[in-house]
Structure 1
Amino acid sequence: MTTADHPTRTLPGTPEWTRRLARIAERAGERDLNDENPFDEVAALKQAGFGALRLPRALGGSGFTVPQLFSSVIDVAHADPIVAHIFRTHFWFVEERLRTADQPASRAWLGKIAEGKIFGNAFSEKGSLAVGSLVFRTRLLPDAANPGGYRLNGEKFYSTGTLFSDYLTVATTTDHDSVATVVVPADRHGVALIDDWDGFGQRRTGTGTTIFTDVAVAAEEVLSDTPYDADPEPSVQYASLQLFIHAVVAGILESVVDDGIALLRSRDRSFSHALTERPSDDPLYQKLLGELASTAYIARAAVLDAAGAIEAATASEVGGVPDADLATKAQLKVAKVKVHLDRVAPDAATRLLELGGASAASRKRNLDRHWRNIRTITLHNPVAYKARVIGQNLLHDTSIPANAYF
């Protein structure tokens, strides 16, 4: 695993950042076609300090606002949505540590982030337990041979980013009716990372199985321990997790526009009954390209607007807890972004192919990856439930579900 022990800061918006993204984008389609893991590309972003964008400058970061972060995520997803997605739970981890930055443990982990370390996730499990519940088969139990320490055992799936991460955050059940979150090094004895995600899109995000076999966990590696019956506090952390997905979709839509331009410019003939001899001069194709560009523009604008709502809620935090009304406003905005993008984004990726005709289906062009990636990432949670909650809230001021899938 490549690490970035001494990051060289490269701020988004600078010429070097643009060149770095161009290098990532150069082989993005080829990596997808050949099913290659983007280890070098992730390492390049780690080295650039991408993972520390939200840290204050005083803590070794770049001091970015939430909208600035999400704008940068869209840019990375424009270059390669696989690479962008790998960092999703890392930024959740960053926000959680910033929210509790007055705690010594969080300050220590923020130091690791400033060094360039990346944090992956091991939250979800297969099986009959409800998705989003806080009951897990993975267990964290006291270590009889090491008083004060613990042992971790269990199996996780959908472990996005683990293959590329230095540390793993793990959700687990304790022996006293609570859910604990722990963090362990990815290379600790007893941790097995299995690259077995077989989705048709977002294929190389490391979203596979993680197995923990009698893994030693120190007391200071337990980040939280919350009783099952604890009342949830207002939060925008889950909204940030969800908005990250939509930012990746927004970046893919910008790639759809790029490929649409390239397709039209590459064509030197059209149909005998076409409106013009050159496809790039055809007003129908021009109209379609303009519609794709408009979809991509609105996607970016919607994501950044929702990010602004998260920023406002985050700024209102007292003791790590945001104003409840601002948190709800942010959650609803993020949900609305999903409801809209889930409808228009797959359609845009499909209509891209109309700009090239049958030749656009060439396997070498690999243009179908945009639809595959969009459709896969939109399946992270059901859009029907999001739309229903929005309507229910409008009619009855119903509260928002308090789980990571909303």
Structure 2
Amino acid sequence: MTQASAVEVRLPGTDAFTTLLADVAVGAKDRDLNDENPFDQVTALKRAGFGVLRLPPELGGPGLTVRELFSAVIDVARADPIVAHIFRTHFWFVEERLRTVSEPASQRWLAEAAAGKIFGNAFSEKGPLAVGSLVFNTRLLPADGGLFRLNGEKYYSTGTLFSDYLTVAATTDHDSVASVIVPTDRTGVSVVDDWDGFGQRRTGTGTTVFENVVVTPEEILVDTPYDAPPTPTVQYTSLQLYIHAVVAGVLASVVDDGVALLRSRARSFSHALAESPVDDPLYQKLLGELASTASIARAAVLDAAEAIAAANDSAVNGIPDAELATAAQLRAAEVKVHLDAVAPEAATRLLELGGASAASRARNLDRHWRNIRTITLHNPVAHKARVIGEHLLHHTPIPANTYF
């Protein structure tokens, strides 16, 4: 686990933040090629206050809007989508605490975030239980002295390897779902770096094991009955839109590499339209199409971020207006449906700017497709598209789970 030091915020849009991103970008291609964890880059972002961007000034942050945050996430993903993805659960956790900022528990954890601590996740499990059902084999049970014990095994724990605290979903002894916060280095917590995906390989998306882990009452944030009626929410919409912000950042990087690739070519084909590839109108057209895809991806993500902000602003006692919440959920889902269709294709077409030489392992241009395709697999696009269509036809409620 990386240790956070004093936070010195570098605001997005400043020369200091631009320099930070340039430092993160250096070696990103080779880290992917060599399968290296970006510990130094994550630590640099923590020290630069990336994790506190949404905190208001009175809580130690600059108080960026939702749109400004997602713009910064896209920029970090442009530098290195591995590093950007690691912070995904952290920002969801911060948003949840801001939603309930008047509660002492939220204030306690926001203070930890302000100090530079990062919160990872331990939600998903393997097995026959339906994904998104909020029923878990991981158990939180009472123990002596008013304490609790946590036991279970989680998978796809993105960011955990780099985090200071873990947010854990568990079933209680009275068949409710609890959200628990425990330090990553607590006795009984094992973080296993065993994610073997072909993309987003060094995001720390591995197995997390909890063996008789002590949990105090203060570390239990939520204890919700399974049969509790759903309420309007966008608490998971930001979590889903974050994925698409990473994709938008990768698409921007595709354009960067496309420009560099064309400029690096010294020759073309004898039957080409220009002697130099950079002057060939067909290559220029293709590059322009890639740039357009990246630009629209960014705009779509930021538009959905505005919808989330509108829902947040309407909240009363942490619960947003139902219509605004639904609009935000649908907007984020629409972004996914669109990007899933165009982003992998853009990453593939990048290679056409270089011909066979673009397949060089040293160039590692295939990482863009691998990263995009892996990110888009986080939830099936067919189900998202169906929900959008069904809602348009019948005003069917959006599924009340973590995927919307």
- TM-score, structure 2 length as denominator? 0.99
SS across alignment from 2:54: coil
Distance in 2 separating the partners of 1:175 and 1:92: 27
Q: Corresponding residue for 2:14? A: 14
Opposite residue 116 of structure 2, the aligned amino acid is G
Matching of residues 78-93 of structure 1 within 5 Å: 78-93=78-93
Opposite residue 294 of structure 1, the aligned amino acid is S
Distance in 1 separating the partners of 2:254 and 2:2: 31
Distance in 2 separating the partners of 1:9 and 1:382: 36
Native 8 Å contact 1:252 1:374 kept in 2: yes
Distance in 2 separating the partners of 1:2 and 1:246: 26
Instruction: Quote how far apart the aligned CAs of 1:328 are.
Output: 0.3
Q: Deviations over 1:199-240 (max 9, x none)?
A: 000000000000000000000000000000001111111110
Instruction: Quote how far apart the aligned CAs of 1:2 are.
Output: 2.6
SS across alignment from 1:17: helix
Instruction: Quote how far apart the aligned CAs of 1:85 are.
Output: 0.2
Q: Corresponding residue for 1:371? A: 369
Q: Corresponding residue for 2:311? A: 313
Opposite residue 57 of structure 1, the aligned amino acid is P
Instruction: Quote how far apart the aligned CAs of 1:177 are.
Output: 1.2
Matching of residues 1-400 of structure 1 within 5 Å: 1-143=1-143, 145-146=144-145, 148-400=146-398
Native 8 Å contact 1:3 1:46 kept in 2: no
Native 8 Å contact 2:188 2:212 kept in 1: yes
Native 8 Å contact 2:2 2:163 kept in 1: no
The total of aligned residue pairs comes to 404
SS across alignment from 2:156: coil
Runs of 5+ in structure 2 lacking a partner?
none
Q: Deviations over 1:123-155 (max 9, x none)?
A: 000111111111100000001x32x21000000
Distance in 2 separating the partners of 1:134 and 1:328: 20
Distance in 2 separating the partners of 1:267 and 1:343: 29
Structure 1 vs Structure 2 CA RMSD? 0.6
Opposite residue 192 of structure 1, the aligned amino acid is S
Instruction: Quote how far apart the aligned CAs of 1:356 are.
Output: 0.2
Distance in 1 separating the partners of 2:97 and 2:54: 11
Instruction: Quote how far apart the aligned CAs of 1:3 are.
Output: 2.1
Distance in 2 separating the partners of 1:329 and 1:2: 38
Distance in 1 separating the partners of 2:113 and 2:151: 26
SS across alignment from 1:117: coil
SS across alignment from 1:237: coil
Distance in 2 separating the partners of 1:204 and 1:237: 26
Instruction: Quote how far apart the aligned CAs of 1:256 are.
Output: 0.2
Runs of 5+ in structure 1 lacking a partner?
none
Distance in 2 separating the partners of 1:240 and 1:175: 30
Opposite residue 131 of structure 2, the aligned amino acid is V
Distance in 2 separating the partners of 1:161 and 1:105: 23
Distance in 2 separating the partners of 1:177 and 1:233: 20
Opposite residue 207 of structure 1, the aligned amino acid is T
SS across alignment from 2:375: helix
SS across alignment from 1:212: strand
Opposite residue 394 of structure 1, the aligned amino acid is L
Distance in 2 separating the partners of 1:382 and 1:159: 18
Percent of aligned pairs sharing the same letter: 76
Opposite residue 358 of structure 1, the aligned amino acid is A
Opposite residue 271 of structure 1, the aligned amino acid is F
Opposite residue 107 of structure 2, the aligned amino acid is R
SS across alignment from 1:289: helix
Instruction: Quote how far apart the aligned CAs of 1:4 are.
Output: 2.1
Native 8 Å contact 2:137 2:170 kept in 1: yes
SS across alignment from 1:55: coil
Q: Deviations over 1:366-401 (max 9, x none)?
A: 000000000000000010111111111111111101
Instruction: Quote how far apart the aligned CAs of 1:290 are.
Output: 0.1
Instruction: Quote how far apart the aligned CAs of 1:243 are.
Output: 0.3
Distance in 1 separating the partners of 2:235 and 2:352: 39
Distance in 2 separating the partners of 1:321 and 1:201: 36
Q: Deviations over 1:340-373 (max 9, x none)?
A: 0000000000000000000000000000000000
SS across alignment from 1:158: strand
- TM-score, structure 1 length as denominator? 0.99
Distance in 2 separating the partners of 1:151 and 1:205: 28
Native 8 Å contact 1:82 1:203 kept in 2: yes
Distance in 2 separating the partners of 1:354 and 1:70: 30
Opposite residue 234 of structure 2, the aligned amino acid is V
